[in-house]
Amino acid sequence: MTADSSRHGSGPSTAERSSAGRPVADVADVPPHSAEFLATVAARELAGRHRVFAGVGLPTLAVDLAKRTVNPGVELVYESGVVGAHPEAMAEGIADSVLVSGSEAMLSMDALFGYVLQGGYVDVGFLGAAQVDRVGNINTSVIGDWRRPEVRLPGSGGASDIMASAREIVVVLRRHDPHALPADVDFCTSPSPVRARRQEGFHQPEGAGVTTVITPLGILRRPDRYGELELAAVHPGVTVAEAAENTGWDLRVRADVAETPRPRAEDVRLLREEIDTVRLYLR
Amino acid sequence: MTGSKVTTLTEAVAAHVRDGMTVALEGFGHLIPFAAGHEIIRQRRRDLTMCRMTPDILTDQLLVAGCVSRLVASFFASGSAGSLYEIRRRVEQHDPAPLETEEYSHYGMYCRYEAGAKRLPFQPLLSYVGSDLPALNPRIRSVESPYGEGRVYVVPPLNPDVTIVHAQRADASGNTQLWGITGAQAPAAYAASAVIVTVEEIVAPEVVRADPNRTLIPAHAVDAVVEVPGGAHPSYAQGCYDRDSAFYREWTPISRDREAALAWIDEWIHGTADHAGYLAKLGQQRWDGLRVAPAPSGSVSYGRRKE
């Protein structure tokens, strides 16, 4: 972590404040908790990344937007075996036929998970989650006691495999409250390197763990492999205090905490009129 | 080339799937063997251990119908379409009975089939270090690397009594060709004691032999071949028909209400004699809506020795 970061630090930086209240014509007025806002913020995280492994749900939408805006050359990889997808329509899932037609390669799942993922080719793993905790452990399995869970969630799928090997992990959460961001997850499906390191004597996987969490209130980042999530940005209209109060631990706030730039009108138009025309993800 | 293994789905399921068996129905979002699963429901098999990486609507239906008592899987939802409520009722409320589950990550589950196919005692992978999954599933264990790299997690072989897959085409002897997303079909087939392949089309051996790279499951691993056009509905067959996404959305409210799900099974499975009957009930108009435009692969030349 940076030396000047502090818990509950100052408000948004001067540069960001100066832009507030002077809306630019190109800026879209969608609320920060909307799928349009979250997908745009998520897509921007992919600028400059070469190879992205997109998970189920909102990530599928965000990578589509990234490919049309900030990163036309991004190589999209899916656990179904698709490498270098060029979909002609929005994928309604990671096994959609539109991801296969016109793709650069269709690999076996052994080649995809074994060679591409464990082999270290994935720059960013892009996942959804029910819970992410202080050091970036992910729960996608159960809420409550796993022997008789209150809610049975989808489970790992490829998530714990991706966590072990991707250079960065970006998580998108649809809610920001102490249940979604607890100090410790109810169940650790996909472990942070912090937790992996505690298992002494084990061959440590190369994955960096969760580096970024995008929520309806802001953006949390982990400064290094063994650090904890810190508040790096708040969305327009959200205060630092609000983000901190809705987090399940004493959230450290970066000294340079910024305000998230709003989506452009063009981002929202692409999402609504060209990408998710059936409103599958834009609920 | 061996003799013909062509049979009917009724006969194939009657011959190879018996109560209490461990059955893998594989297909990763694509080529899901729905017709075969529905035939298992029609024949009222009981107490099956169902193996599927992504249980999907098919498992929800087999559970509603009372066929499955144990589930080995790596993802318990229906992708973007949402929850599988029969699975959730069984796990969360033990309603109408608890469901025994054995849970892995996708690669862990795939490695189980690989170990099964290769008759290895276990297969290592880089996942699970620091995860709670090994505490939940004691069959995920670890071994010390004999080469001094520390401990690694391993999974045991999975050897189903029978594996059922759906593919675009096969010849009568069982040389099976599939393309698009190929999932765990090949290792699941090689891991099993018996293999049933349902296909969109049974083709002449020359068609298969003109493109041998596309054969992922050779005849020697196949016991029964059944022509079942539309056999993956409501999932899809690349190049043949698309996923019936409307059905995936329709299943969510049906599965939320157990009585509605039972009524669906009665009407659509027990109320139809076979998959042709199910498709007829579905109607030509709905089927026409799932058709895809052609996008041929082009072709390569394998060459042959000159005289």
Break chain B into its structural domains and give their ranges: 9-47+159-288, 121-156
β B68-73/B48-52 pair status: parallel
Question: A151 CA to chain B: closest CA distance, Å?
Answer: 7
Residue A94 to residue B29, Cβ atoms within 8 A: yes
Flag whether pLDDT at A23 surpasses 90. no
Question: A176 CA to chain B: closest CA distance, Å?
Answer: 21
Could you tell me if A196 lies within 8 Å of chain B, comparing CB atoms? yes
B25 secondary structure, DSSP code: E
CA–CA gap between residue A54 and residue A77 (Å, rounded): 7
CA–CA gap between residue B5 and residue B172 (Å, rounded): 6
In this structure, what token pair is assigned to residue B60?
């929800």
pLDDT, tens digit, 9 for 90 and up, residues A151-175: 888 899 999 999 999 999 999 999 9
Mean pLDDT value of segment B135-140: 96
Is domain B9-47+159-288 annotated with CATH 3.40.1080.10? yes
Best mutation target among B57, B92, B106, B118 (most A Cβ atoms within 10 Å) is: B106
Cβ neighbours for B86, distance < 8 A, ≥ 6 positions apart: B60, B61, B63, B64, B255, B258, B261
Mean pLDDT value of segment B195-209: 98
Long-range Cβ pairs for the range B133-141 (8 Å, 24+): B133/A141, B133/A156, B133/A160, B133/A189, B133/B103, B133/B104, B133/B105, B133/B108, B136/A141, B136/A146, B136/A187, B136/B103, B137/B102, B137/B103, B137/B104, B139/B102, B140/B104, B140/B108
B56: left (phi over 0), alpha (psi -120 to 50) or beta: left
Residue A189 to residue B132, Cβ atoms within 8 A: yes
CA–CA gap between residue A5 and residue B109 (Å, rounded): 42
Q: Which chain B residues are closer than 8 Å to A141 by Cβ?
A: 103, 132-133, 136
Per-residue pLDDT band at A278 (split at 50, 70, 90): confident
How high is the pLDDT of residue A281? Answer: 87
Residue A189 to residue B74, Cβ atoms within 8 A: no
Listed range (A80-84, B223-227, B249-253, B273-277) with the worst mean pLDDT = B249-253
pLDDT, tens digit, 9 for 90 and up, residues A186-217: 999 999 999 999 999 999 999 999 999 999 99
Element at A19 (helix H, strand E): helix A14-19
Nearest beta carbon to residue B136 from set A117, A146, A201: A146
Under 8 Å between Cβ of A141 and A189: yes
Nearest-CA neighbor of B159 among B120, B192, B189? B192
pLDDT, tens digit, 9 for 90 and up, residues B91-128: 888 888 889 999 999 999 999 999 999 999 999 999 99
Active site positions of A, annotated: 79
Higher pLDDT, B84 or A77: A77
Measured over the CA atoms of residue B184, residue B188, residue B190 and residue B195, the dihedral's sign is negative
Helices B258-265 and B56-64, axial angle in degrees (round to 10): 90
Strand partners, A51: A75
Per-residue pLDDT band at A3 (split at 50, 70, 90): very low
**Residue A159 CA, distance from chain mean position:** 12
Domains of chain A: 6-272 (3.40.1080.10)
CA–CA gap between residue B288 and residue B293 (Å, rounded): 11
Nearest beta carbon to residue A93 from set B79, B87, B130: B79
How high is the pLDDT of residue A55? Answer: 84
Please give the single-letter amino acid code of residue A157. G
Flag whether pLDDT at A145 surpasses 70. yes
In this structure, what token pair is assigned to residue B209?
């032999």
Under 8 Å between Cβ of A243 and A231: yes
Residue A81 to residue B182, Cβ atoms within 8 A: yes
CA–CA gap between residue A237 and residue B18 (Å, rounded): 61
How high is the pLDDT of residue B268? Answer: 98
Residue A153 to residue B76, Cβ atoms within 8 A: yes
In this structure, what token pair is assigned to residue B20?
């209490």
Mean pLDDT value of segment A98-115: 97
Nearest-CA neighbor of A106 among B230, B78, B196, B31? B31
Element at A75 (helix H, strand E): strand A75-77
Long-range Cβ pairs for the range B91-96 (8 Å, 24+): B91/A149, B91/A152, B92/A148, B92/A149, B92/A150, B92/A151, B92/A152, B94/A148, B95/B258, B96/B258
Question: A156 CA to chain B: closest CA distance, Å?
Answer: 5
A276 secondary structure, DSSP code: -
Strand order in the sheet with B123-125: B123-125, B151-155, B141-144
Mean pLDDT value of segment B252-268: 96
CA–CA gap between residue A153 and residue A156 (Å, rounded): 9
Question: B11 CA to chain A: closest CA distance, Å?
Answer: 31
Flag whether pLDDT at A149 surpasses 90. no
pLDDT, tens digit, 9 for 90 and up, residues A213-247: 999 999 999 999 999 999 999 999 999 999 999 99
How high is the pLDDT of residue A9? Answer: 39
Per-residue pLDDT band at A7 (split at 50, 70, 90): very low
Nearest-CA neighbor of A148 among A97, A187, A104, A189? A187
- A-B contacts (CB, under 8 Å): 176
Q: Which chain A residues are closer than 8 Å to B183 by Cβ?
A: 80-81, 109
SS3 A106: strand
Mean pLDDT value of segment B183-203: 98
Nearest beta carbon to residue A152 from set B76, B130, B182: B76
Under 8 Å between Cβ of B61 and B265: yes
Flag whether pLDDT at A18 surpasses 50. no
